[in-house]
């Protein structure tokens, strides 16, 4: 049963600037009502009407009938009129898509202008030669075979149930136009260096630009440069306890202007006084206390209903005393990461899994018994399709580029529980070559390929006792808990429920959580545990092990109770490193 959240989505949903890390003044949100239809292989049309973008047709917020499903060989077609004024014709006009699941072709005024493969990463099309002042016709044609052909699918499954969810398709993040004069300021990379107290900003091309750097509202530096610049200042360090951001503006002689920001922080590893390897933040041992966030919503599925909904949920997690969020098997809109930057939440970012059909014995049963398998056995991990492996690598590169400038990203997680895992040691090197500033949790859960091939010992523990094995790497509990409680009237299916340990009342659930954290987990901090990720933020369909319900209407674990538990953990950590 679909459930509505309390949030008002409005006539033009998600109409805030979609990219706070690179903002220009001249832009136009294209969310809202579009014409829409589905077409099968025989050319027969159905669901011919209106859809509310950016919600997928399978969602309640889209306005499409509840029984919508995109079958093999079918496509969906979006069309809308776009009225363009001169401020969007400044020399270069770009058409941006936050995400389209899973393949699309894009047409403007009848001409094909581009397309994309991959349902979770953003893409941009230069439409300068096709767009015109006044009325334009934009058409997006989508297909979605990812759940069937081994493409990136995340938690979506045609056989939904348990930890696998209803698949969705089409546009599910913001669509927008942006214009700037030419030559324009190119993309840029921001790399802080805490040890040297500097920040490096590198443009993708050797263009000339001016940077104005702010501390609050005060200008603290202004300089012309070409290609790249190193900034030095007595920067405050960013942390969950002090989420300090430094805004800056880039300008060029053509009049292009981009607003952005950075933070001074570093993530690393070091041995403590007893020789135990620890994770660090800004060069000091730090305990990453987090929660697993699937990012699914009862009325929008992968798309949260509005910006306020995302901010409210992240604020709740911060008030509960968490300092970390593991973004599980999806990418969010860039505004979500901006909220984490501002609130002070470290993000452990998963890549999106793909491959063929997984065998339960290979991804769950055998690993629970302690059996690991070498991941160059492509058949074992449903990765025999070479094209699918290439697509994963391409999407990984897009993910790294898209999120590189987000201060909150602390850990990359390319593989989870063997879902389409392959060549993880090479993947570790692939990521490190492109970003050596974050930690890499190469193999989260199991099928660890050994010391020297991944930076962490990453454990998922649900049915067995919590423990810290002897290992030269930092040890993290990257999934645990999963305690469930059914909340009548706020569940997807009254007859089905999935959770790792079930409770009937809020009191019994909170008592069990207190015991789990303070009696079972807290003693492990002294034994070398460096981080923990509780499963999970919210219920998702019949998986009801969330801290809140699927419709976000009921907080199952009181905020003050969770905060008290997490404060005890923080106090224990402080005692260890006094």
Q: If we measure between CA atoms, which residue out of 252, 278, 260 comes closest to residue 189?
A: 260
Task: Flag whether pLDDT at 193 surpasses 90.
Answer: yes
CB 211 within 8 A of CB 174: no
Task: Flag whether pLDDT at 297 surpasses 90.
Answer: yes
**Weakest mean pLDDT among 236-245, 306-315, 368-377:** 368-377
pLDDT at 66: 85
CB 445 within 8 A of CB 458: yes
CB 553 within 8 A of CB 310: no
Rounded distance between C-alpha atoms, residue 60 and residue 67, angstroms = 10
pLDDT at 216: 94
pLDDT at 549: 98
Task: Flag whether pLDDT at 170 surpasses 80.
Answer: yes
Task: Flag whether pLDDT at 1 surpasses 80.
Answer: no
Rounded distance between C-alpha atoms, residue 534 and residue 399, angstroms = 24
- Triad 150, 152, 154: Cα angle to 5°: 115
Cα separations in angstroms, 135 against 82, 95, 139, 178: 6, 15, 13, 16
The residue behind tokens 């969705």 is 168
pLDDT at 227: 97
pLDDT band of residue 2 (cuts 50, 70, 90) is confident
CB 208 within 8 A of CB 226: yes
Q: Which residues contact 236 (CB under 8 A, 6 or more apart)?
A: 242, 244, 264
pLDDT at 578: 81
Task: Flag whether pLDDT at 370 surpasses 90.
Answer: no
The overall average pLDDT reported for the chain is 96
Rounded distance between C-alpha atoms, residue 117 and residue 100, angstroms = 9
Q: Which residues contact 417 (CB under 8 A, 6 or more apart)?
A: 363, 364, 367, 444, 445, 446, 447, 460
- For the segment 153-159, the average pLDDT, to the nearest whole number, is 93
pLDDT band of residue 492 (cuts 50, 70, 90) is very high
Task: State pLDDT tens for residues 81-134.
Answer: 999 999 999 999 999 999 999 999 999 999 999 999 999 999 999 999 999 999
Task: Flag whether pLDDT at 65 surpasses 90.
Answer: no
Cα separations in angstroms, 474 against 259, 271, 494, 565: 37, 9, 41, 23
pLDDT at 547: 98
Six-digit token pair at 403? 């999120």
CB 146 within 8 A of CB 356: no
CB 115 within 8 A of CB 124: no
Query: Taking the CA atoms of the chain, what radius of gyration do you get in angstroms?
Result: 24
Cα separations in angstroms, 1 against 61, 259, 409: 14, 43, 35
> Please, which residues bridge with residue 28 across strands?
177
pLDDT at 249: 98
Percent share of the chain, pLDDT over 70: 100
Q: If we measure between CA atoms, which residue out of 176, 237, 185, 174 comes closest to residue 211?
A: 185
- For the segment 449-467, the average pLDDT, to the nearest whole number, is 93
Task: State pLDDT tens for residues 495-546.
Answer: 999 999 999 999 999 999 999 999 999 999 999 999 999 999 999 999 999 9
Six-digit token pair at 336? 């979500």
CB 549 within 8 A of CB 556: yes
The residue behind tokens 């290609």 is 227
Task: Flag whether pLDDT at 271 surpasses 80.
Answer: yes
pLDDT at 397: 98
How many C-beta neighbours within 10 Å does residue 195 have?
A: 10
Burial 538-563 (b: 16+ CB within 10 A, else e): bbbbbbbbbbbbbbbebbbbeeebbe
32: left (phi over 0), alpha (psi -120 to 50) or beta: left
Six-digit token pair at 170? 């089409």
Write the DSSP assignment of 26-59 as a string of letters: -EEE--EEEEEEEE-TT--EEEEEEEEETS-TTS
Task: State pLDDT tens for residues 199-216.
Answer: 999 999 999 999 999 999
Residue 430 burial (C-beta neighbours within 10 Å; 0-12, 13-18, 19+): middle
- For the segment 322-347, the average pLDDT, to the nearest whole number, is 98
Six-digit token pair at 154? 């995340």
Rounded distance between C-alpha atoms, residue 400 and residue 351, angstroms = 9
Percent share of the chain, pLDDT over 90: 96
The residue behind tokens 């403590």 is 272
- For the segment 222-241, the average pLDDT, to the nearest whole number, is 98
User: β-strand 346-350 against 324-327: which pairing, if any?
Assistant: parallel
Residue count of the chain: 578
Task: Flag whether pLDDT at 444 surpasses 90.
Answer: yes
């Amino acid at each position: 049963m679909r459930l509505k959240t309390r949030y008002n989505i409005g006539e033009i949903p998600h109409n805030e600037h979609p990219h706070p890390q690179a903002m220009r003044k001249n832009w136009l949100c294209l969310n809202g009502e579009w014409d829409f239809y589905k077409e099968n292989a025989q050319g027969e049309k159905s669901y011919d009407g209106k859809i509310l973008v950016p919600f997928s047709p399978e969602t309640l917020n889209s306005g499409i009938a509840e029984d919508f499903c995109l079958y093999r060989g079918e496509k969906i077609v979006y069309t809308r009129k776009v009225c363009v004024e001169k401020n969007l014709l400044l020399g270069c006009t770009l058409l941006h898509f936050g995400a389209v699941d899973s393949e699309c072709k894009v047409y403007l005024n009848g001409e094909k202008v581009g397309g994309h493969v991959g349902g979770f990463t953003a893409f941009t099309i230069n439409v300068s030669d096709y767009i015109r002042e006044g009325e334009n016709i934009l058409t997006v044609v989508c297909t979605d075979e990812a759940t069937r052909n081994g493409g990136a699918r995340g938690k979506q499954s045609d056989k939904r149930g348990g930890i696998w969810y209803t698949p969705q398709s089409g546009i599910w993040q913001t669509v927008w136009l942006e214009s700037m004069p030419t030559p324009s300021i190119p993309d840029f990379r921001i790399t802080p260096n805490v040890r040297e107290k500097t920040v490096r900003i590198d443009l993708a091309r050797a263009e000339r630009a001016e940077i104005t750097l702010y501390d609050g509202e005060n200008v603290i530096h202004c300089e012309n440069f070409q290609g790249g610049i190193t900034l030095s200042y007595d920067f405050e360090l960013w942390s969950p306890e002090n989420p300090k951001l430094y805004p800056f503006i880039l300008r060029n002689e053509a009049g292009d202007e981009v607003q952005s920001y950075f933070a001074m922080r570093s993530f690393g590893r070091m041995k403590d006084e007893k020789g135990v390897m620890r994770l660090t933040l800004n060069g000091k041992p730090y305990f990453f206390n987090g929660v697993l966030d699937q990012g699914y919503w009862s009325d929008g599925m992968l798309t949260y209903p509005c910006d306020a909904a995302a901010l409210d949920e992240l604020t709740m997690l911060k008030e509960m005393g968490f300092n970390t969020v593991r973004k599980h098997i999806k990418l969010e809109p860039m505004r979500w990461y901006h909220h984490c930057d501002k609130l002070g939440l470290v993000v452990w970012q998963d890549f999106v899994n793909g491959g063929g059909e997984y065998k339960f014995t290979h991804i769950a049963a055998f690993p629970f018994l302690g059996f690991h398998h070498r991941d160059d056995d492509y058949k074992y991990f449903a990765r025999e399709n070479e094209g699918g492996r290439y697509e994963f690598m391409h999407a990984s590169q897009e993910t790294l580029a898209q999120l590189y400038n987000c201060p909150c990203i602390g850990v990359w997680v390319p593989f989870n529980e063997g879902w389409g895992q392959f060549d993880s040691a090479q993947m570790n090197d692939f990521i490190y070559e492109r970003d050596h500033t974050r930690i890499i949790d190469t193999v989260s859960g199991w099928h660890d390929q050994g010391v020297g091939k991944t930076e962490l010992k990453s454990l998922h523990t649900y049915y067995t006792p919590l423990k810290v094995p002897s290992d030269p790497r930092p040890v993290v509990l990257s999934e645990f808990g999963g305690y469930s409680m059914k909340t009548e009237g706020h569940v997807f299916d009254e007859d089905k429920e999935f959770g790792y340990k079930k409770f009937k009342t809020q009191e019994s659930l909170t008592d069990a959580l207190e015991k789990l954290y303070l009696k079972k987990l807290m003693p492990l901090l002294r034994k070398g545990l460096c981080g923990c990720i509780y499963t999970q933020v919210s219920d998702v369909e019949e998986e009801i092990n969330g801290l809140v319900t699927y419709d976000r209407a009921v907080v199952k674990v009181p905020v003050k109770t969770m905060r008290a538990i997490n404060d005890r953990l923080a106090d224990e950590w402080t005692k260890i490193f006094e």
